[in-house]
Amino acid sequence: MTKVRHLLGISGGKDSSALAIYLNDLYPQLTIEYYSCDTGKELEETYTLVDNLQAYLGKKIDLLQAAENSHLDPFDHFLQVYGGFLPSSVTRWCTKKLKLDPFEKFVGDDLVISYVGIRDDENREGYISKKSNIQTIFPYRKNIWSEDVIQKVLQNSTKDIIAKFYEEEGILDSIKLERALKIVTTNVSPEFDRDRKLDSLLKVSIKAFNHVVFRFIKEFTNYPLSYLDKEDFPLLNNEDGLVREDVFRILRESGVGVPAYYEKREFEVDGKKGYYSRSRSGCYFCFFQQKIEWVWLYEQHPQLFAKAIEYEKEGYTWMQDERLEELAAEERRTQIKRDAIARASRQKKDSPYLLDLLDDAEGEGCAACFI
């Protein structure tokens, strides 16, 4: 039988960490390899989380580093290669060089199923490798399949095949089968697009849809999953659909704990109280940070903020509209805090974590870094 590797990347954030715990506890029969791409610029809490996870899982988490023979940290090595040109939301060389390249080197030409921690309450796809030997699965979601798989399965040209599979799998009772077949045989159109068709089929039965997709993969594709049997992939029967609240619950109940940088800290401006923290994992100088997170870094980790300033040379800055030296001014920090308090009051959420107050925080950034 052809060997297929099961891989899960640990970013140091809540979602990937909880996913490792979730899969370990629910599917101990899966032999999962864990890895983390170390940029050399992570917060110390990230390494603490990796240590806690290793203790819980009883397995080593491989630390992958780009430019492993360099005398510099991976980030500093490639910053030198790029002549001091800082990465940005437009030119994300850090993602490719520090995350994707080490991951794909780790994979090589092996057949791989990569488990990614994008939740059921998020509307994003995440990193999908262009290498045909890597297939991405999203265990938190009701739809565990990547967009490329869904496109193949729900083509109008395949509807008869999919209908046949629904009938032959024998999972649904007669009433649900009739509903599923009606949906399957309806063409995708502007009035009934692929997303709506997918959602309709999942509402009939997630389990039945998964089994049909798996059979399609086995018979008509060369995805890594096509080399496995049903009993080798127990997620076919999973119908959970996990959201943010579940992720925090898993981390707390396991004893691994929520990464400390998510915990909000109180500040006061004009007699009003506000809170700040980090909303994401990743490098301490990540250019996707919001202004209030930079203020958090300045006040909670001044030595790291000072290091981040040192990178701003020859016109290169972490933010397009402001240098860190300008943001560090007391008047500017006070205004950013005022803005954060005003924004939080509009959200009207009672949460111990900043990311619950900044709804768009998780929708930004590189999926390869933050999952």
Task: Sort strands 111-115 and 4-9 into parallel, antiparallel or unpaired.
Answer: parallel
CATH number at residue 111: 3.40.50.620
Report pLDDT digits (tens) over 160-210: 999 999 999 999 999 999 999 999 999 999 999 999 999 999 999 999 999
Element (H or E) spanning 63, and its range?
strand 61-64
Query: Are 199 and 306 in a shared domain?
Result: no
Query: Are 70 and 109 in a shared domain?
Result: yes
Distance CA 22, CA 24 (A): 6
Query: Are 194 and 85 in a shared domain?
Result: no
Distance CA 127, CA 7 (A): 14
Residues ≥6 apart with Cβ < 8 Å to 326:
332
- How many other β-carbons are positioned within 10 Å of the β-carbon of residue 360? 9
Query: Are 118 and 244 in a shared domain?
Result: yes
Query: Are 55 and 123 in a shared domain?
Result: yes
Query: Are 29 and 88 in a shared domain?
Result: yes
Query: Are 227 and 293 in a shared domain?
Result: no
Structure tokens at 114: 């990569």
**Reported confidence tier of residue 362, pLDDT bands at 50, 70, 90:** very low
Query: Are 246 and 270 in a shared domain?
Result: no
For residue 371, the model assigns a pLDDT of 40
Give me the half-sphere count of Cα atoms (radius 13 Å) on the Cβ side of residue 288. Answer: 23
Report pLDDT digits (tens) over 226-281: 999 999 999 999 999 999 999 999 999 999 999 888 888 999 999 999 999 998 88
For residue 370, the model assigns a pLDDT of 45
Query: Are 106 and 247 in a shared domain?
Result: yes
Domains: count for the chain: 3
Query: Are 242 and 230 in a shared domain?
Result: no
Query: Are 169 and 207 in a shared domain?
Result: yes
Structure tokens at 302: 């001044």
Distance CA 142, CA 124 (A): 14
For residue 115, the model assigns a pLDDT of 97
Report pLDDT digits (tens) over 121-145: 998 776 677 889 999 999 999 999 9
Query: Are 103 and 189 in a shared domain?
Result: no
Q: Is the pLDDT of residue 347 over 80?
A: no
For residue 144, the model assigns a pLDDT of 97
Q: Which of 299, 285, 300 is closest to 328 using CA atoms?
A: 299
Q: Which domain holds residue 63?
A: 4-145+238-254
